[in-house]
Structure 1
Amino acid sequence: MIFHINRLTPKANLGDEQVEACLDLLREVGETCPAVKSYVVGPHPVEGFAYGAVFVIEDLDGYYEYLNHPAHLRLELEGIGLLARFEAFDLTDSDDPEIKAKIEQVQARHFAEHPEIAALVAQAASFTRPGGEG
């Protein structure tokens, strides 16, 4: 299993409705992507981030499916510009010594296949993902 963890802080100038719309985009991914086995979206109790989301995904094929699901693509296209700070990382129960590199390869493939998203990430104020930064 892969636990894909997102921590985020919206830009300070966003209104409550815009923040809730951003959180709804995260929830939509969890609700509509078949690769997501379970998820949670809510306040992040650790200093430095306002919200968090965790998506539980079975394997690397599911991870790729999650990243390229239409709801996730929409989240990236509409949500990245709303964030002051974003960090994603993964926890896994895999005993594969290459799992870190494999996750990073899936992420790199996703950005190579979606250069418009890679461009948004490159312009983001603070964006950290498995295998790289914005």
Structure 2
Amino acid sequence: MIYHGNRIKIRDDADPGLVAQALDALREQGRVIPAVTAFIVGREYGGDFDWGAVFVLEDLDGYWEYLNHPAHARSERLGIPLMARFEAYDITDDDSPDFAARVAALQKRHYETDPELLAAMPSDTGTSVHRTPDKP
């Protein structure tokens, strides 16, 4: 089981209407992506981010399906331009020693299909492509 989390800090100058659309797109991906077994999108409290989302995925095959689903692509296209900061993380009961490398490889492969999207990503941490072994 994988709990894939996203933490989002919205740019100060972001249009509130566009932010609402992006949050709706995150909720929609939770509803329509078959690999997502549960999800939550909401305000973050106690940290330095504004919003958070967690998507529950059964395994890495489901993770790949999630990354490549059109609903996820729509969320990225709407949300990335509004972000000041972004953090992705994964919590799993998969104790494979190469789990982190396999997630990084999926993320890298995903962003290789759309380099412009990667270029638009704000500086971030976590399991995103920026943290893969070949990109410090």
Length-normalised TM-score, structure 2: 0.88
Instruction: Give the deviation of 1:19 after TM superposition.
Output: 2.0
Within 5 Å, which residues of 2 pair with 1:40-55?
40-55=40-55
Instruction: Give the deviation of 1:16 after TM superposition.
Output: 2.9
Distance 1:7 1:85 in 2: 8
Instruction: Give the deviation of 1:13 after TM superposition.
Output: 1.5
Task: Identify if the C-alpha distance between structure 1 residues 47 and 87 changes in structure 2 by more than 3 Å, giving closer, same or farther.
Answer: same
Aligned pair 1:72/2:72, yes or no?
yes
Aligned residues: 131
Distance 2:127 2:71 in 1: 20
Match of 1:130 among 119, 127, 132: 127
Instruction: Name the structure 2 match of 1:34.
Output: 34
Distance 1:65 1:14 in 2: 30
Which runs of 5 or more structure 1 residues have no equivalent in the other structure? none
Length-normalised TM-score, structure 1: 0.90
**Cα deviation code 1:67-90 (max 9, x no counterpart):** 010011111122101111111011
Instruction: Give the deviation of 1:14 after TM superposition.
Output: 2.3
Helix, strand or coil: the match of 1:78?
helix
Distance 2:43 2:19 in 1: 12
Instruction: Give the deviation of 1:129 after TM superposition.
Output: 4.1
Task: Identify if the C-alpha distance between structure 1 residues 23 and 8 changes in structure 2 by more than 3 Å, giving closer, same or farther.
Answer: same
Task: Identify if the C-alpha distance between structure 1 residues 92 and 46 changes in structure 2 by more than 3 Å, giving closer, same or farther.
Answer: same
Report the residue type matching 2:78 in the other structure.
Answer: E
CA RMSD of aligned residues (A): 1.6
Distance 1:32 1:79 in 2: 18
